[in-house]
Amino acid sequence: MSSYGGIDLGGTKIQTVIVDDEHNVLGSARRPTPTTGGPADVACEMAAALCEAAKAAELAVTALAGIGVGSPGTIEAGNVSSARNLPGWEGTFPLAAALETALGVGGMPILVGNDVQVATDAEFKLGSGRPYGTLLGVFWGTGVGAGLILDGKPWTGRGGAGEVGHMVIEIDGARCTCGRRGCVEAYAGRAAMETHARELHEQKGHKTDLFKLMKDHDRTRLTSGIWARALRDEDKLATHIIDRAVGALGAGIASAVNLLDVESVIVGGGLGIRLGDPYAKRISEAMRPHLFADNRPPDVQVAALGDLGGAIGASLLVETGVARTAAAS
Amino acid sequence: MSSYGGIDLGGTKIQTVIVDDEHNVLGSARRPTPTTGGPADVACEMAAALCEAAKAAELAVTALAGIGVGSPGTIEAGNVSSARNLPGWEGTFPLAAALETALGVGGMPILVGNDVQVATDAEFKLGSGRPYGTLLGVFWGTGVGAGLILDGKPWTGRGGAGEVGHMVIEIDGARCTCGRRGCVEAYAGRAAMETHARELHEQKGHKTDLFKLMKDHDRTRLTSGIWARALRDEDKLATHIIDRAVGALGAGIASAVNLLDVESVIVGGGLGIRLGDPYAKRISEAMRPHLFADNRPPDVQVAALGDLGGAIGASLLVETGVARTAAAS
């Protein structure tokens, strides 16, 4: 029986898991992503979070058969460049090598993949995507990312596919965090929604309890949990902004479906997981008026692996990587 | 040396070709698509247009090794259902069987495929798409259709992929010919542009020579040629409507590229071919502000096979079909 490590490196948190051959989670840990320092500091925190998960699994990190990492940014052979939302990570950093050193696991396979794509792979192999050959995984969180499985295989294009968050749903529309206008993420990303809420509240005097809730819960951002709570309390501004986000996701995802005719859409990410089934249903309804083949809409479901999906997906990289090495030798 | 027939069934015209083993065009013909009657009338006209091409090639239709057809609508084993823009074709019609009878070619392979996909395949194998493994073919004409080649193979999803024309670029935007709102085709399709021009001219008093040009050239619609002429004359309304179409195509195609990260975009269709290189360049520029990976935009080129691409692509179905039959036996 072998065990594998998986690390999901997010802009807000680092999630780690230890899994066995059958993908059962033996242990897990979560730490906040450092907001200051640089890539080396982030790598140390990732190593610490993996140790913690191994401890929970009652295993030594050195006993693992390999470690997989899901990371933002551009990834090439264990090196990560221009990782958005991570501190001081504009350049290229040898993440796999840094983890190898920090964990003292020289020679162990450490594989780095795209965070959104590994989470999509995990849903495809182990989660809500299992019944389908073709799916779009949409991760609704700080930003809006997506991964594609076409005919049972990940589709990454020239390495940059899956930017559903930057599909245009309004020419000259709202300013996006990417600097462009009218992208899905400009309406539906948690970061853009927070900026919009702050403007409407502070500059235009719209009433809301969002920022009070944030302070009461000792948060520095409007987390998915804060949004969920405000919606439950029927906060008018929060409801308005979330409705707008659902409309944007509906139009963007429907456009993707019109182009690719996928069987299924899996909704994950911080907000997707937190808001759950009722919102997957709402997104499905918001897609409906824009679907060209509206007599056979794709199934829309919440990511079954929840918050652990990214880390479990990262651990899957080891199997694939080991298999690839074996086949090549 | 074998010869093949290819028929491109469009909403406006039926284009036929006879090609040899090496895809050289030995003869071609073009006839207007009947606007009245039903599928049987259309099939007769298709048969007549193929005879005409065979005559130009100095060949008997019975001497062909097979015939391929590119058709709109839903296609299943030679039967065509709900072909938009064709007269009385709401139901299912056995097109391959009808052509077999009309041409007296019992037993000859007659293969029917999707019009846009066969045109994309032709550009991929023989035209502007040859240098690429991954491309989006956009056909800008009466409507806006598209075909996809991913990793060297056509991608059709569950049979309905490629609807770039119905990607949403403006939530609650202009009414589309499909009945929905804000689709690319609502701004860029020739049919929608004509409706828009008529409204602005007849109801809002905008000046234009578009309809005068139409009458002078004995046309009943604003054809691609009429648009091209009006643009050359710097007709203000025509320029405005075409600019809007280019903006819509830019946003829609950029969205598709953000999702799929294709290497190349091939622009064909009546308007695409007629307006040519300068407009492929304009579409490429209109995509730029919306491309997420804006440091490596895909190449954008005009379809090299021009008006014959659809019919040549249809003829390619025979090779593939014959190969498939051979492999299966």
How high is the pLDDT of residue A11?
Answer: 84
* pLDDT tens per residue across span A259-268: 999 999 999 9
Which are the contacts of B120, defined by CB distance < 8 A and separation ≥ 6?
B129, B135, B137, B146, B147, B148, B149, B154, B162, B266, B313
Please give the domain boundaries of chain A with CATH numbers for all domains: 3-118+308-328 (3.30.420.40), 131-304 (3.30.420.40)
Q: For residues B134-143, give the mean pLDDT.
A: 96
Q: For residues A175-195, give the mean pLDDT.
A: 96
In percent, the amount of chain A with pLDDT more than 70 equals 98
Determine whether the interchain pair A169/B166 forms a contact, defined as Cβ–Cβ distance below 8 Å: no
Determine whether the interchain pair B255/A156 forms a contact, defined as Cβ–Cβ distance below 8 Å: no
Determine whether the interchain pair B164/A259 forms a contact, defined as Cβ–Cβ distance below 8 Å: yes
Which residues in chain B are contacts of A264 at CB distance < 8 A? Answer: none
Which residues in chain A are contacts of B247 at CB distance < 8 A? Answer: 171
Determine whether the interchain pair B180/A259 forms a contact, defined as Cβ–Cβ distance below 8 Å: no
Q: For residues B189-193, give the mean pLDDT.
A: 96
Interface test with A, best of B84, B136, B164, B167 (most A CBs within 10 A): B167
How high is the pLDDT of residue B322?
Answer: 60
Determine whether the interchain pair B290/A247 forms a contact, defined as Cβ–Cβ distance below 8 Å: no
How high is the pLDDT of residue A329?
Answer: 35
How high is the pLDDT of residue A84?
Answer: 72
| DSSP H or E stretch at residue A311 | helix A309-328
User: Would you call A152 an interface residue with chain B, using a CB distance cutoff of 8 Å?
Assistant: no
* pLDDT tens per residue across span A204-218: 999 999 999 999 999
For residue B92, the cross-strand partners are: B81
Structure tokens at B84: 């938009």
**In the structure, what pLDDT confidence band is assigned to residue B328 with cuts at 50, 70 and 90?**
very low
Which are the contacts of B59, defined by CB distance < 8 A and separation ≥ 6?
B3, B18, B26, B27
Measured CA to CA, the distance from residue B251 to residue B187 in angstroms comes to 11
Task: Measure B114 CA to nearest chain A CA, in Å.
Answer: 15
How high is the pLDDT of residue B188?
Answer: 98
* pLDDT tens per residue across span B60-116: 999 999 999 999 988 888 999 988 779 899 899 999 999 999 999 999 999 999 999
Measured CA to CA, the distance from residue B92 to residue B76 in angstroms comes to 10
Average pLDDT, chain A: 94
For residue B16, the cross-strand partners are: B7, B29
* pLDDT tens per residue across span B288-319: 999 999 899 999 999 999 999 999 999 999 98
Which residues in chain A are contacts of B259 at CB distance < 8 A? Answer: 146, 148, 161-164, 167, 256, 259-260
More confident residue, A232 or B12: A232
User: Does the predicted model carry a pTM greater than 0.80?
Assistant: yes
| DSSP H or E stretch at residue B175 | none
Task: Measure A178 CA to nearest chain B CA, in Å.
Answer: 8
Q: For residues B229-249, give the mean pLDDT.
A: 98
User: Would you call A174 an interface residue with chain B, using a CB distance cutoff of 8 Å?
Assistant: no
